[in-house]
Amino acid sequence: MNTEMIKCKTLKAKPTEVKSFGKLFTDYMYVREYDGGKWGKGKICPYDGFVLLPCSSVLHYGQAVFEGLKAYRDKESGTVRLFRARDNFKRMRSSCERLCIPPIDEEEAFSALVDLISVERDWIPTDAGTSLYIRPYVFANDESLGVHAAKNYKFAVILSPSGAYYAHGFAPVALKVEREYVRASKGGTGAYKVVGNYAASILAGEEAKSAGYDQVLWLDGTERKYVEEVGSMNIFFVIDGTVVTPELNGSILPGITRDSCIKLLKSMDIPVQERRISIDEVMDGAKSGALTEIFGTGTAAVISPVDRLGDVNGDYIIGKKGEAGKVSKLLFDTLTGIQTGRLEDPFGWVTIVK
């Protein structure tokens, strides 16, 4: 191990069963600070609070980015697997650049993560569907007010053992087409994992929940005509047997699960298109029955089937109510199979942590 480590005086008791998401944290985290024009040497240290002064710049101007990925541990062999972790750090670099945060070399971040996971491997749950959720993030921490690129930052990685997303089989969600608010527009920060995107989207999500939906389906910010994505997922449609997902256009987050699904579909000779898709085309497909499946993709759920789509003129049931479609199931089984080592990994997506 290359990373310096400050040991905990006592270790917490590890849970025998994990059911929650994002509530439980391991003994250690990784922290690296930027000061005096450079990133210092990071260290693995006890999971504990940061000192943030009331004037800390992140609290006022929101210069902060994050990532989300998972590690899996095999019940029998104990083998620990990371899925496409380098791609998360590549994306973190691009998010940093968009917010004028000095970027972190992705190989350095990756090897620090491998060290941290190796220290905390016994925290990774092994029951079916469980994982260790990994949250890397960077935030500005200047101790003064004033809008400008900060001179002090912290990069941290925290780890949260997480329960199975689908403990009782697939649970399809209902989406509401969002006609009032926009998530992102071209030239903005929609294509980057920045914290402000989420703050700006919460009201729409809350209103959708009050109206009986789970999440919103965002349209483009300019014409309000083309489908973009869901709150924290990319979106796919199966129309006349072809899988269609909005092309990356500068305001859509380039999801790693999205990219993995496209590559898997191509490798299975299932027709897949990245292109503009209008909400009218989606609604026409829902009316005619040509639209047979909708699913979201993201690290948390991997695949999230959608069985109801609501718009101003009412709701449509997509596929069979309460069930996942064929393509959704196939992608879920294949992707989770590769992530957990149940299936071979022909793409080189998996890193085994020693």
Tell me which amino acid residue 151 is.
Answer: K
Q: Which is nearer to ligand PLP, 245 or 297 (CB)?
A: 297
Q: Which is nearer to ligand PLP, 56 or 251 (CB)?
A: 251
Q: Are 188 and 196 in contact (CB under 8 A)?
A: no
Q: Which is nearer to ligand PLP, 44 or 265 (CB)?
A: 265
- Closest approach, Cβ 132 to ligand PLP, in A, equals 15
Q: Are 65 and 96 in contact (CB under 8 A)?
A: yes
- Closest approach, Cβ 336 to ligand PLP, in A, equals 13
Tell me which amino acid residue 176 is.
Answer: K
- Closest approach, Cβ 147 to ligand PLP, in A, equals 24
Residue 146, by phi and psi: left (phi above 0), alpha (psi -120 to 50) or beta? left
- Closest approach, Cβ 85 to ligand PLP, in A, equals 11
Cα 200 vs. chain centroid, distance in angstroms? Answer: 17
Q: Which is nearer to ligand PLP, 176 or 258 (CB)?
A: 258
Joined together, the tokens standing for residue 189 give 């920060």
CA distance 256 to 254: 7
Which residues contact ligand PLP (rule: CB under 6 A)? 68, 193, 229, 232-234, 253, 255-258, 297-299
In order, the DSSP letters of 230-297 are ETTBEEEEEETTEEEEPPP-SSS---HHHHHHHHHHHHTT--EEE---BHHHHHHHHHHT-EEEEEEE
Q: Which is nearer to ligand PLP, 64 or 253 (CB)?
A: 253
In order, the DSSP letters of 261-274 are HHHHHHHTT--EEE
Tell me which amino acid residue 31 is.
Answer: V
Q: Which is nearer to ligand PLP, 56 or 197 (CB)?
A: 197
CA distance 93 to 165: 28
CA distance 182 to 94: 22
Q: Side-chain half-sphere of 50: how many Cα atoms within 13 Å?
A: 20
- Closest approach, Cβ 59 to ligand PLP, in A, equals 21
- Closest approach, Cβ 184 to ligand PLP, in A, equals 8
Q: Which is nearer to ligand PLP, 257 or 336 (CB)?
A: 257
Q: Which is nearer to ligand PLP, 34 or 218 (CB)?
A: 218
- Closest approach, Cβ 218 to ligand PLP, in A, equals 9
Secondary element (H or E) of residue 329: helix 326-340
